[in-house]
Structure 1
Amino acid sequence: MDRIDAMRAFVTVVTEGSFTRAAERLETSPQLVSKYVSQLEQHLGVRLLNRTTRKVHLTEAGARYHQRALQVLNDIDDMEHQLGDLHTQAKGRLRISAPVSFAIRHLAPLLSDFQRAHPAVDIDLQLNDRKVDIVEEGFDIALRIGHLKSSSLIARRIAPVRLLMCASPAYLKQHGTPRRLEDLEAHRYLRYSYMELAAGETISRWLSSRDPHHGGDMVSNNGDVLVEAAIAGAGIALQPTFISGPAIKAGTLRVILPEHAPEPMSLYAVYAHRQLLASKVRCFIDFLEGYFGEPPFWDRFD
């Protein structure tokens, strides 16, 4: 028995719901598919499928085996496709979705370097801070920042993303430097519209307890605006260091309460499929890995 063929026959039967449709999909006979599944069950010593005249049903053992078998077959297909990619030039249009501030500050050199290495790839970069639907909107890759939840999408971690509270020296001289989290109550806060989800427990608790009529706060859906406002002395901003890092390094912003910094997030490359991944997508993902350094260059100000 070829165990890989038997495993593929079993997975296809589960996917198609019958031996006949599985045979059509595999371009073979239902008898051979049935033989493969029976041999696999004998080899494992457990029943994987309960068969009726109209349908097949997974047993408990079959459900567990199906999950692992699907992963093994995906890994084999990935490996074979990667080897094939060594002889296939990356080409075609690569559609990328990316966060606005990160892309403006950091993607242009990367994309230029990538196209020098892969001149047959055209880039279509769309900037948006909302969570795009990769499949529905026709993107090959989306760059996302945050703590990703499990989904059917595939995610590759590219770099850590730190969040720090900071304010200008002039603002801190006028209003005082917070020494405890409670001291923030008297200060102006420059709030990013979507940041509370990643702000960390202690900072989120402070934000939720603030007086809603507190004067002087500012809210924006763009981090660059808030960092520039902080530099100008408008208040305290909680922003990722890929935006605030140069100002911190230059001394136009100072980090406050670093011990209350939220847990770092990550920059991810997210894509829809792991099987038969186009060369242009695989090459771009591989190019992203390690490009920004470890730690990334925007964090080298300490």
Structure 2
Amino acid sequence: MSKLRQMEVFVAVVEAGSFAEAAVQVGMSAVMVGRHIQSLETALNTRLIQRTTRRQSVTGEGRLFYAEAKTALEQIEYAFKRVEASTDRPSGLLRVTAPMTLGSALIGPLVTEFMQLYPEIQIELILSNKVVDLYESSFDLGFRISERVDVNLVCRPLPPYRMVICAAPKYLATWQAPQTPEDLSTHRILTHTSWNNRFAWPLRQGNKDIPWPERAVLKSNDGKVLLEAAIAGCGILMQPDFLVAAALVSGELVPLMSACAPEPKPVQMVYLRSKKSLPKLNAFVTFISERLGSSTPKPHAH
């Protein structure tokens, strides 16, 4: 394990407040985060984080090391920015965060295409439905499904996140197609685990919002797992249009209750103003904007 990576992980743990939260920030498992911290403590021969089954706290030595490590990492990042900004050739490591389904089904394939155009840029794409703080992490750019974006971030609006309700013909051969949200109560439902009060997708019926049924035969945090289950005829699915588009075209799935689909949600590509001069970031932003469509970058108001 490199000392630099250990320092990055330690700083992330202190700032996130837990191994699990830090794991999202640095793109590794919580177990691996613990190994980095343990290795760092062994190398320093001192306890940096006091851990119990219920909580963790930073020791005095840990606070001292955090301050020094934070300063060192900021200096290293500044050095890289200076060199990267001094050349017009996009190169270096670009760290990107995105929600899971958006990232795996839409952004992931675009990243693959982008890397073929810019072989000198390395990409680290971390998928999580938790919103990553770009100020407190080492990510260069994030994708957000939200209207609310920090006013100090540069924001590129992308095509909205549109949900489609659908099912396989083989499912509808056995179950009568629902006509209203209330009809879903008698059907086999496929649900994403991230849907909750903070990130819900209510159906529309006139002036009323109807929640997607809580009871489901399959719940998953992976949209592609739900898609495969729907194609197999396991139940009724609601997922974004870009995920189900191919299956709809092939006839593996058919749309249902289009008039009741949830209101689309804005998708934003955001990054820090301080990083907008980096050629690697500009190349990526331009590429995504051209592929998906975007307007002029602007700060997003609350």
Provide the TM-score with structure 2 as the length reference.
0.59
SS of the equivalent of 1:137 reads coil
Alpha carbons of structure 1 residues 139 and 201: separation in structure 2 relative to 1, 3 Å = same
Q: Match for 2:204 among 202, 205, 208? A: 202
Q: Which residue of 1 aligns with 2:12?
A: none
The answer to whether the Cα contact below 8 Å between 2:129 and 2:194 also exists between their aligned partners in 1 is: no
Amino acid at match of 1:277: S
- Whole-angstrom distance in 2 between the partners of 1:115 and 1:183: 46
**Distance in structure 2 (CA, Å) of the matches to 1:276 and 1:171:** 49
Give the CA deviation at 1:255: 0.7
| Aligned equivalents of 1:262, 1:238: Cα separation in 2 | 10
Residue in structure 2 matched with residue 127 of structure 1 by the alignment: 127
1:154, 1:274 within 8 Å by CA — same for their partners in 2? no
| 2:247 pairs with 1:247 | yes
- Assess if the C-alpha contact under 8 Å between 1:90 and 1:118 holds in 2: yes
Counterpart in the other structure of 1:43: none
The Cα of 1:224 is off from its aligned counterpart by 1.1
Task: Give the match for residue 23 of structure 1.
Answer: none
Note the C-alpha offset of 1:116. Answer: 4.2
* Matched residue SS, 2:263: coil
1:167–1:116 Cα change, 3 Å: closer
Matched with 1:30 is none
Deviation at 1:198, TM superposition (A): 4.5
Deviations 1:134-182 (A, max 9, x none): 23221001122x2331423332112232101111112112110112222
User: Residues 1-302 of structure 1 correspond to what in structure 2 (within 5 A)?
Assistant: 88-144=88-144, 146-151=145-150, 152-195=152-195, 197-200=199-202, 202=204, 205-207=209-211, 217-273=217-273, 277-292=277-292
Q: What are the superposed Cα offsets for residues 186-213 of structure 1, whole Å, 9 maximum, x if unpaired?
A: 11221112235341453794337x5x6x
Shifted more, 194-203 versus 166-175: the winner is 194-203
Contact 1:158 1:290 in 2 (8 A): no
Q: Which runs of 5+ in 2 are unaligned?
A: 1-84, 295-302
Distance 1:154 1:164 in 2: 30
Residue 259 (structure 1) shift: 0.6
User: 2:211 is aligned with what amino acid?
Assistant: L
User: Is 271-280 or 119-128 further displaced after alignment?
Assistant: 271-280
Could you say what the CA RMSD is over the residues aligned between the two structures, in angstroms?
A: 2.8
Point out the structure with max Rg over C-alpha.
Answer: 1
- Alignment partner, residue 76 of structure 2: none
Which stretch of the first structure deviates more once superposed, 155-164 or 116-125?
116-125
1:239-260: CA deviation from partner (whole Å, max 9, x where unpaired): 0012111111111111100011
Measured in 1, the distance between the counterparts of 2:93 and 2:106 equals 21
Aligned to 1:16: none
Residues in 2 aligned to 1:275 and 1:220: alpha-carbon distance in whole angstroms: 35
Q: Distance in 2 between matches of 1:140 and 1:267?
A: 17
Counterpart amino acid of residue 254 in structure 2: R
Q: Percent identity?
A: 31
Equivalent-residue separation in structure 1 for 2:118 and 2:254 (angstroms): 41
How many residues align? The count is 205
Deviation at 1:293? 5.9
For the residue of structure 2 that corresponds to 1:285, the secondary structure is: helix
Q: 1:190–1:237: 8 Å Cα contact kept in structure 2?
A: yes
1:126–1:293 distance in 2 versus 1, CA, 3 Å: same
TM-score, length of structure 1 as denominator length: 0.59
Which whole-Å CA distance do the structure 2 matches of 1:120 and 1:231 have between them? 39
Structure 1 residues 136 and 162, CA gap change in structure 2 (3 angstroms): same
In the superposition, relative to structure 1, how do residues 276 and 155 fare at CA in structure 2: closer, same or farther (>3 Å)? closer
Rate the CA distance shift 1:276–1:137 in 2: closer, same or farther, 3 A: closer
